[in-house]
Amino acid sequence: MKNFSLLILVIVLIYSCNRADDSQDIIPTDSIIFGEIYGACVGDCRNLYLLTAQGVYGDANSNTIYGDWENTTFQNQSLAMDQFDLAKPLLQIPDILLSYEFEIGSQIISDFDYFINLRINGTSKTFVFDELKEDIPLEIKNYINNFIAINSQLKK
């Protein structure tokens, strides 16, 4: 009986242990990956951020398969609080953006694009563009213009 109790205790301890880095490569359900991706480059072809309710994180500059931007790895340490405060308004996503079925912008320059991947309430949506189209709804246009301004300030 003593051995059986010891065995149960060991099993419970093993299953209750959690490796510290288990969640570092997992992107939270409600998150936004945003920034810039570059088409005419070799190596790290992106400057992306991960925004969650807990913080904003820079990309880890690890090798990611070109075009697989949604699976970028991010730094474990969040950026400074003032940068998080700057990016936080992007968490207020207009409902129309999640349901919008059309392109929000054009890709006219081959070496630079803005990138946004929204993961909110089980819905995932990705937008890649250089310039905004003129005929998109005003609510989307305002959100994207705010994103562009925030992205520019985070790069400084």
Instruction: Specify the CATH number for the domain of residue 64.
Output: 3.30.1560
Task: Please tell me the distance from the alpha carbon of residue 140 to that of residue 118, in angstroms, as a whole number.
Answer: 13
Are 56 and 79 contacting, i.e. CB atoms less than 8 angstroms apart? Answer: yes
**Average pLDDT value over all residues in the chain:** 79
Q: Which range of residues forms the domain containing residue 78? A: 29-155
Report how many domains make up the chain. 1
User: Is residue 14 one of the residues assigned to a domain?
Assistant: no
User: Is residue 16 one of the residues assigned to a domain?
Assistant: no
User: Is residue 84 one of the residues assigned to a domain?
Assistant: yes
User: Is residue 13 one of the residues assigned to a domain?
Assistant: no
Residue ranges in the chain whose pLDDT is less than 70: 1-29, 40, 42-44, 62-71, 109-110
What single-letter DSSP state applies at residue 116?
E
Cα 113 to Cα 10, 13, 37, 69, 121: the distances in Å are: 52, 48, 5, 12, 26
3-38 per-position pLDDT tens digit = 545 445 445 444 444 433 333 344 456 899 999 988
Residue of 90, 109, 91, 87 whose CA lies nearest to 37:
109
User: Is residue 20 one of the residues assigned to a domain?
Assistant: no
Percent of the chain exceeding pLDDT 70 equals: 71
Are 35 and 115 contacting, i.e. CB atoms less than 8 angstroms apart? Answer: yes
User: Is residue 106 one of the residues assigned to a domain?
Assistant: yes
Residue environment code for 118-128, b if the CB has 16+ CB neighbours within 10 A, otherwise e: bbbeeeeeebb
pTM: 0.74
User: Is residue 15 one of the residues assigned to a domain?
Assistant: no
Residue type, 123: T
User: Is residue 17 one of the residues assigned to a domain?
Assistant: no
